[in-house]
Structure 1
Amino acid sequence: DCLHVLAGHTKAVHSAAFSPDGGRVLTASVDGSIRIWRVSDGECLLTIRAESSVVRTATFSPDGSKVLVASGSENIHLFSVESGECCLTLVGHDDWVRAASFSPDGLLIASASYDGTARIWSAVNGQCLQTLTGHSGGLVSADIFVG
C-alpha cells in the first residue's frame, strides 16, 4: 500500500534516498531542488536549492547530518540537514558530476563525472585526494567499497 504521495517538485524526480535512521527520505529533482520529507506523515521538512537547475542525485551522509548533492555542474555540494545551507563545495571536475557517494564511515566521497574521471575527496575539508583516470567516456556511477 502507498503510505504517502510526496508532492511538491515541479519537474521529474531523478533520485530518492532514505536517511540512515529511516525516518526521512530525500528526493532530488530536475527542478533544481532537493526535498527532505518525514516518512511518518509525508510532510516536507526542508527544501534545498541546488547550484544547477538539474539535480542528478543526492544522498544522506552515514550519520544523517548532511546531504551530498551532484547536480548539472562540475561541483559537488554538501548541505546541512539542520539549516539547508551549503557547508562544503568540492571543485575539480571539468564536466557535469553524474553521481557521488559517501564511504561507510562518512570521511570520504567518491564522485563520477562526464569528464571521464572518478575522484576521491575528503568529506572533512573538500580536498581531492585522488583522481582516477583511464575511462574513455563519461562516468555515471560512483561508490566506495570497504574490505
Structure 2
Amino acid sequence: LIVAQRNFTSQMFQLAQKLEDVHSDGILTSCWSRQGTEEYIVTAGLDNNMIVWQRDRSRAFVAERLLEGHIGPVACTKATPDGRYMVSASTDNLMKVWDPTTGEQFSSIQCEPMENSLAVLSPDGDLVITCSRHGKFLVFKMMTGERVYESEPTTRYYYSLDYSPDGKYIAVGSNEGIVYLYDTETYQLIGSGEGKPNLKYSIKTTCHTMSIRGLTFSCDSKLLFTGSEDKNVKVWEIGSFPDVVSSFYGHLSFVTDIAVSPNPDVFASASSDHTVKIWELAERRCIQTLADHISHVWSANFNHDGTRLLSVSDDESMNFYVAE
C-alpha cells in the first residue's frame, strides 16, 4: 500500500520489488554499494549475517552472497563512496571491513563491550568511527584497526552517528535528545553548549525530548537531519547551528532512521509505526507515505542518484522502490 497526500512536482516512489523472509530474524540495517555502473545492496540484522544483493538480467535484486563472521546481531553497515569497502558493526564487539563484491574480509577491529553498536566511515574511507551507550566515541584506521582517538566516557548514551560528506564534522545523537557536533580536526568536545559555544570545535544543543535514533547530514554537508523517539524530525543548518530550520511531524511512533536524497529538497524517515515517509523540505510537508511493512522499519536508504529507495524491517522483508 502506498498512500500519497497529493501529487506534487517531486517524484513519487512506487514499490518495484518486495522480498520476504530474506533473513531468519529482523533486519536492522542496510546500505547501498556502487562500483562503476553496478549497484549492490547489503542487508544485515538479528541473525548475525549479512547478505549482498545484486540485480539479475531482469533487473530484480537477488541474493549474491552471504557474509558470515559475526557471532552477534549486526546493527550497522556502511559502504565507502567508491563502493570498494564496507564496514559492519555488531554487538559481538567487532567491526569488520569487507569487499562486498567478493566477500573478502580485510580486517576485524576489536572494540570494548557495547562500543560498536554504530559505525560510520570518513568520506575518504580511511577512518571508521564508532560510538556507544558508554557515552564515548572511538576513531580507528579502517584497514589496520589502529585506534587513533578515544573520547572520555560520559553518562550519556549515543544512539546515532554520522560523518559529514565534506569531512569537517562528526555528529552524534544521544539519549538526552541532544545532538553533539564535533570538528574532525580535534575530536574534542570543547564547547559546553552554555552561553555562546565555539562552532569551530564543538557544540551541543537540546533538540528533542527523547533519544535521537536517526541522524544524517545532507549530501552537501549544509544541513543536519535528526529523528527521535519523540516521533519528530528536525533539520538544522550547520552555518547557523544550533538553530532549527524546520520541524516535521507525522509519524505515530519512534523515528528510527533518516535518509537523504541527492535531490536537496527530498528526504525520507523510517519509523517503528511500520512506515517510511517522503518529505519535501521547501514546503515542509510529507508528500508520500510508504506503508508496505508490517513491523518496525529500522533502515531506509536512497541510492546514489536518489531514483531508488530501500527499506528493511523487523518483519524480515526488504522493499525496493523506484521514482516515477
Using structure 1 for the length normalisation, give the TM-score. 0.90
Indicate the percent of aligned positions where both proteins have the same amino acid: 24
Larger Rg: 2
Give the Å deviation of 1:53: 3.2
Aligned to 1:135: 208
Q: Is the 8 A contact 1:12 1:29 kept in 2?
A: yes
Aligned CA distance change for structure 1 residues 54 and 126 (closer, same or farther; 3 Å): closer
Aligned to 2:105: 44
SS at match of 1:4: strand
For 2:214 and 2:152, locate their aligned partners in 1 and report how far apart those are by CA, in whole Å: 18
For 1:30 and 1:13, locate their aligned partners in 2 and report how far apart those are by CA, in whole Å: 7
- Aligned equivalent of 2:92, options 28, 31, 36: 31
- Aligned equivalent of 1:117, options 148, 154, 178: 178
Aligned to 1:71: 132
Q: Is the 8 A contact 1:93 1:115 kept in 2?
A: no
Measured against aligned partners, the alpha-carbon deviations of 1:85-139 in whole angstroms (never above 9, x if no partner) come to 1112234753111111111111210000113211000112112210111432222
For 1:87 and 1:54, locate their aligned partners in 2 and report how far apart those are by CA, in whole Å: 15
Using structure 2 for the length normalisation, give the TM-score. 0.43
Aligned to 1:60: 121
- Amino acid corresponding to residue 89 of structure 1 in structure 2: E
Q: Is the 8 A contact 1:29 1:54 kept in 2?
A: no
- Amino acid corresponding to residue 215 of structure 2 in structure 1: A
For 1:104 and 1:92, locate their aligned partners in 2 and report how far apart those are by CA, in whole Å: 26
For 1:34 and 1:72, locate their aligned partners in 2 and report how far apart those are by CA, in whole Å: 16
For 1:95 and 1:134, locate their aligned partners in 2 and report how far apart those are by CA, in whole Å: 15
Give the structure with the higher percent strand.
2
SS at match of 1:22: coil
User: How many residues are aligned here?
Assistant: 147
After superposition, the CA RMSD in angstroms is 1.8
Aligned to 2:246: none
SS at match of 2:118: strand
Aligned to 1:4: 65
- Amino acid corresponding to residue 32 of structure 1 in structure 2: N
Give the Å deviation of 1:142: 2.1
Task: Structure 2 unaligned segments of length 5 or more: list them.
Answer: 1-61, 190-201, 223-324
Q: Is the 8 A contact 1:20 1:60 kept in 2?
A: no
Aligned to 2:307: none
Aligned to 1:21: 82
Moved more, 89-98 or 24-33: 89-98
